[in-house]
Amino acid sequence: MQNVVIFPIIFFFLNTSPAPEVQFKYSDGVGIEIYFIKQRWHTAIVFNTSNIDTNNFPIIKNFRDYNLVDIGWGDEEFYQYPDFDWELAIKALFYSTPSTLRVEGISISRELYFDLSEIVVKMIVTDEQFKEILKFIDDTFYRDEKGEKVLSSKAGGQIIFYAAKGKYHLFNTCNTWLAKCLNDAGLKIKTDIILTEQLFNELAKIGEVIKAER
């Protein structure tokens, strides 16, 4: 009986389709472009690696050979599992679990990468906001007693998982983490966000939806 209730909840959580439609907004191009993408249950923030200074975000030195870097936060076990696993999904949502930061270097063009995503939102931020976003992410990395980031695993060479701060659960998801990241940088966005739909509806208010699910 318990599974009859749990499975629909997880299905709804992972498959809720964001509502925003593609909308092009005028921009004077002043500032730094950042992107938010959804790929199945993966939600992430994406940067052009050329925009990132090693002094502001030291980990970027490992991804200098890539055009883009894709960063997401999630449950330690579920995120590192190569496929979908119901048991891990249940554990991730209904228990408070350790977390990980997933950092992926993207070698293909931005346009091709966005073609692989169901939803893409572009946002232009100031230099100061950009630094605060990077600081928030950098502060999420768990560090050992020597102050070093802790490697969890690698997947295919271009994806590296690092131990992260914070516990993952139904009310503190990857969507919550991204909303808090932007809010911490001074952008007007709600932080009581759980679902992908909620996040992308908020992002549509302050960014430009350049691709959306149909």
In this predicted model, what pLDDT tens digit does every residue of 23-50 receive, in sequence order? 555 455 679 999 999 998 789 999 999 9
Give, in degrees to the nearest 5, the angle at Cα 128 between 124 and 131.
90
| Helices and strands in the chain, H and E counts | 7, 8
Query: 125: which strand partners?
Result: 32
43 strand-pairing partners: 38
Q: Against a cut of 0.75, is the pTM above it?
A: yes
89 confidence band (pLDDT: 50, 70, 90): low
Q: What value does the mean pLDDT take over residues 73-83?
A: 76
- Phi first, then psi, for residue 80 (nearest 5°) are -90, -10
Residue 130 confidence class, pLDDT cut points 50, 70, 90: very high
Q: Tokens 């090693």 belong to which residue? A: 54
pLDDT digits (tens, 9 = 90+) for 146-198: 999 998 888 877 999 999 999 988 889 999 999 999 999 999 999 999 899 99
Give the start-to-end residue ranges of the domains of the chain. 28-211
Q: 187: helix, coil or strand?
A: coil
Q: Residue 119: left (phi > 0), alpha (psi -120 to 50), or beta?
A: beta
Percentage of residues of the chain with pLDDT beyond 90 = 65
Grade residue 79 by pLDDT with cuts at 50, 70 and 90. confident
> Does the pLDDT value for residue 205 go beyond 70?
yes
Distance CA 69, CA 107 (A): 9
User: Do residues 65 and 105 lie in contact, with contact meaning Cβ atoms separated by under 8 Å?
Assistant: yes
